[in-house]
């Protein structure tokens, strides 16, 4: 099975999949990764800092691990009567298996948020990042290294590798629109395009196919509704990610339960569905402005025959807060 996976990895590197995508099931807790227009979109706080960790396919051997650290804050709220600026950063690292393929992305993000009347907010964001990818060729096996009984690493692979590391700039732009229908209802829709500069990514010799990375397009819809008994906030979400002819769709809902009565402590429950791949239950706990959640991806695709439905585990921690004792809130928000 290990040899099969490494061969599949090489096929992906050759061009079956144009890029190693680093995504989280809890996309709602990785806002800057989804859309740079989310940068600084914190109506009730001055800053946020968060972390995500995902491990998957552990039942197939060495797991794939993805780590993400991010943060953002509001700026110049006192200089714009009906708007503000958001600035943020992110560091993302993915280690595929035993280190055969690693990907690291570091980026800075900026956005401007403009109020449209009393109920609308339009946000435009821009993201500049640098991507570094490395491959350990010695851990890969190829079909022409099969000697009839096993893969022999001493047999030349005859593959046109010219480097084991590549790096390039990654540009992303995004747009969001938010509508605050009432103090109990909020709607948000957004769209972003990443790798719009079409950078070159290849470990192979020049001329081996189209070596430019395909753009990644992401659309999402969020809503929040607080029940009139002040006990629940319901948050339905829809996420669509498209790269070339590959499309990922995740839909579901999470709910916040007001435990303390004033919203200081909350329980979170959710369930999501990644189309054709997995059901994703989620639970969490929030104390004041610190939220911790965990989810489990239960595989329902044909891969479940190999991993026993054990797709992935994911943990998210997000902390928000104020830099001063009070804050002038320019737009409403749905909260306890």
Q: Where are the domains of the chain?
A: 2-321
314-329 pLDDT per residue, tens: 999 999 999 876 666 6
Q: Do residues 267 and 276 make contact, with C-beta atoms less than 8 angstroms apart?
A: no
The whole-number average pLDDT for the span 144-168 is 77
Look at residue 98 in the predicted model and tell me its pLDDT. 62
Look at residue 305 in the predicted model and tell me its pLDDT. 63
Cα torsion angle, 177, 268, 278, 194, sign? positive
Look at residue 328 in the predicted model and tell me its pLDDT. 67
60 Cβ contact partners less than 8 Å away, ≥ 6 residues apart = 1, 5, 306, 307
User: Both tokens of residue 56?
Assistant: 């998957």
CB neighbours of residue 274 within 10 Å: 21
The whole-number average pLDDT for the span 169-194 is 96
Look at residue 202 in the predicted model and tell me its pLDDT. 82
- pLDDT of 8 > 60? The answer is no
The whole-number average pLDDT for the span 66-90 is 93
Look at residue 269 in the predicted model and tell me its pLDDT. 97
Look at residue 208 in the predicted model and tell me its pLDDT. 61
- pLDDT of 279 > 70? The answer is yes
14 vs 255: which has the higher pLDDT: 255
Mean confidence (pLDDT) of the chain: 86
Q: Do residues 114 and 121 make contact, with C-beta atoms less than 8 angstroms apart?
A: yes
Alpha helices, DSSP H, located in the chain: 2-11, 31-34, 304-307
Q: Do residues 330 and 77 make contact, with C-beta atoms less than 8 angstroms apart?
A: yes
296 vs 202: which has the higher pLDDT: 296
Q: Any idea which residue has 């099975």 for tokens?
A: 1
Look at residue 93 in the predicted model and tell me its pLDDT. 94
- pLDDT of 304 > 80? The answer is no
Q: The pTM is what?
A: 0.85
Highest averaged pLDDT of the listed ranges 147-156, 249-258, 295-304: 249-258
Q: Any idea which residue has 């995740």 for tokens?
A: 250
How far apart, in whole angstroms, are the C-alpha atoms of residue 91 and residue 32? 11
pLDDT band at 5 (very low <50, low <70, confident <90, very high): very low
The whole-number average pLDDT for the span 268-286 is 95
Instruction: Please name every residue paired with 246 in a beta bridge, in sequence order, or none if there are none.
Output: 243
- pLDDT of 286 > 80? The answer is yes
- pLDDT of 122 > 90? The answer is yes
Q: Do residues 231 and 258 make contact, with C-beta atoms less than 8 angstroms apart?
A: yes
Look at residue 63 in the predicted model and tell me its pLDDT. 78
The whole-number average pLDDT for the span 207-218 is 82
Instruction: Please name every residue paired with 187 in a beta bridge, in sequence order, or none if there are none.
Output: 179, 223
CATH superfamily of 2-321: monomeric porin ompg (2.40.160.40)
How far apart, in whole angstroms, are the C-alpha atoms of residue 91 and residue 51? 10
Look at residue 71 in the predicted model and tell me its pLDDT. 98
How far apart, in whole angstroms, are the C-alpha atoms of residue 218 and residue 176? 12
Look at residue 241 in the predicted model and tell me its pLDDT. 95
SS3 9: helix
The whole-number average pLDDT for the span 14-40 is 77
The whole-number average pLDDT for the span 290-298 is 96
């Amino acid at each position: 099975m290990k040899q099969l996976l490494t061969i599949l990895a090489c096929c992906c590197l050759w061009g079956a999949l144009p890029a190693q995508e680093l995504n989280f099931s809890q996309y709602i807790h990785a806002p800057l990764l989804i859309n740079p227009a989310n940068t600084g979109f914190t109506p009730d706080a001055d800053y946020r800092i968060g972390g995500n960790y995902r491990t998957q396919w552990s039942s197939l051997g060495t797991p794939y691990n993805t780590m993400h650290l991010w943060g953002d804050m509001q700026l110049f709220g006192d200089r714009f009567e009906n708007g503000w600026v958001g600035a943020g950063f992110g560091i993302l690292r993915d280690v595929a298996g035993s280190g055969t393929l690693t990907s690291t992305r570091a980026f800075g993000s900026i956005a401007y948020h403009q109020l449209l009347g009393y109920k609308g907010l339009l946000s435009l964001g821009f993201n500049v990042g640098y991507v570094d990818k490395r491959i350990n060729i010695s851990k890969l096996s190829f079909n022409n290294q099969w000697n009839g009984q096993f893969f022999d690493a001493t047999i030349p692979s005859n593959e046109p590798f010219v480097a084991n590391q590549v790096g390039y700039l990654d540009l992303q732009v995004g747009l969001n629109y938010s509508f605050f229908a009432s103090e109990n209802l909020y709607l948000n829709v957004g769209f972003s395009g990443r790798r719009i500069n079409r950078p070159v990514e290849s470990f192979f010799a020049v001329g081996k196919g189209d070596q430019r990375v395909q753009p990644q397009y992401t659309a999402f819809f969020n809503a929040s509704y607080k029940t009139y008994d002040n006990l629940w906030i319901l948050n339905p979400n829809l996420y669509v990610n498209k790269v070339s002819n590959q499309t990922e769709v995740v839909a579901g809902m999470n709910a916040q339960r007001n435990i303390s009565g004033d919203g200081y402590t909350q329980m979170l429950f959710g369930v999501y569905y990644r189309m054709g791949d997995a059901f994703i239950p989620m639970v969490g706990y929030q104390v004041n402005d610190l939220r911790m959640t965990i989810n489990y991806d239960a595989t329902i695709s044909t891969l479940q025959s190999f991993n026993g439905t054990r797709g992935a585990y994911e943990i998210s921690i997000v902390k928000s807060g104020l830099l001063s004792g009070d804050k002038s809130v320019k737009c409403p928000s749905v909260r306890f």
